[in-house]
Structure 1
Amino acid sequence: MKPLTSPNPDKFSKALGMSYKGSNINGKIWIFVEEEADFVVEDNSEQMFHGRFTCPRIPNPIMLSAVYAKCTRGERLALWEKMRDITQVLEEMPWFIGGDFNTILSTRDRTGSDTNRQAEMVDFAEAIEDCRLMDPGIDGSEYTWAKNGLMERLDRVLVSETSSQLFDAIRVTNLPHIALDQGPILVRCRMPNNHEGGRAFRFQNMWVRHEGFAGVVQDDWMAPTEAPRLLNLKIKLARIKRKFKRWNKEVFENIHANLKTCEENIAVAQSEFEGNPSARNRAEVNKQIAEYILLLKMEEDFWG
């Protein structure tokens, strides 16, 4: 979290439903974690807040670094050196580093300006290379910051090579800008599936978020089987399992494509609202954002 005010742990802990674990030395980076997770600070500087993250769902600790880089090339040199220093003491532990690096990595990361930023890009690229970090790629918007026609990808998440060995997949999504010039980033990781044999039926939490879920269950469960007691139950369970599989394929198979479509709809709605800030256009923006948040929750359930 990158705040613009002094830390207020109680207020934001309640709003986020998470525990506050501290801020960096200038108060510009805050860390919150979910219940039963922990973050132990190992390095604290003006541009980075670094520590060891543990979570019951992850078998091993991972190192996390939250970044809020300075605005000038000279000031960012200290950040690049800090990254190199951390690399020396990682001992092959998985490492995620992300946040606002306040610079781009290539000319593709910017549109709306032709200012030469070659030297800054080289500094950043050399730090990434020296630290043997990888960019897992992104979904969503190509840019994370926009103002007055200028758009840039200033925010990103990088991972160490060992991180890709711990997780089956690492997915980074640039979320839409909502009332801010900078958009948040969502990172999700999938643990390896160590189950042997055939693929077992798995109930997806995202199903219950769909407005048609209750109807699917009721219609199928209430249909008679003409069988006695336990056999009746067994037939109903097998039947609803088949129903869920078909329903999942029909309704949720394209959830990732639906997210992309929703992002495009938000961009259109926001553009129309900026041109005509009417109550109707504002309501349309809010509607599209609400639908996007619901889809994100469904996708998060799928990844969980």
Structure 2
Amino acid sequence: MGDFNSFLSIDEKKGGSPVTNHEMRDMQIFAQACGLVDLRSIRCRFTWSNGNVSCKLDTALVNSFWLMADYDAYAEFTAPGCLSDHSCTIVHTLAKDRPPDKDFKFINMWTLHEDFEKIVKDSWAVPMQGKAQYILKAKMFRLKRCLRELHKNKIGHISEKAKKAKEELEEVQRSSLDGGPTPMGYTHIRKKANLLAEAERQFYQQRAKNVYLKSADKCTKFFHDMVKRNNKRNAIITLKKRNGD
């Protein structure tokens, strides 16, 4: 760990001229030759600034032995303060009380949202430099972050949203069927309720499939219930001959 005065990726600088391959080459060759990867970090994204340009020049790197040992560690970059223009780097190695990062799960209902395609295209179109494997990994990481934001801000708690949209639609329908005027936005309200209902259905269908894939091959009650159901479904109850018997 320390001030390497170099970049590992193109997004480690904000402001000024863009990062060139020449500026990243030495650091990338060094990290690859020694089998080092950037340790996950919190707090300040950039570690040095002159007021106009901000850069991540300080880095904490770990090797494959560290990763195999599965240490629960992270680097903390604090604000520089008065004595230096570089962030202080603190590596925490005993943070066992921190909750583990959740695995990324693609949820099928995301594809129903009107902004889904735009979010994917915009995230994937961000230019990056480096080797093909690094570019693919970085683009996938950025896309995961964008999809998590989509879920958190616009799709999360789908059952509550679907229920609320259904109640709103039913209220409008009752008012209209009782002789009241049909509101101008009726088509939009109905379309929204149908879309959220379909998203909710896909969400629970995907969850049910995950449960099936996880438990169907285990010697559990779920497995035996599935066997009984399949036996009943495959049973031949009657046969019909050509003469009608």
TM over 0.5, shorter chain: no
More strand per residue: 1 or 2? 1
In terms of Rg, which structure is larger?
Answer: 2
Query: TM-score, structure 2 length as denominator?
Result: 0.39
More helix per residue: 1 or 2? 2
Query: TM-score, structure 1 length as denominator?
Result: 0.32
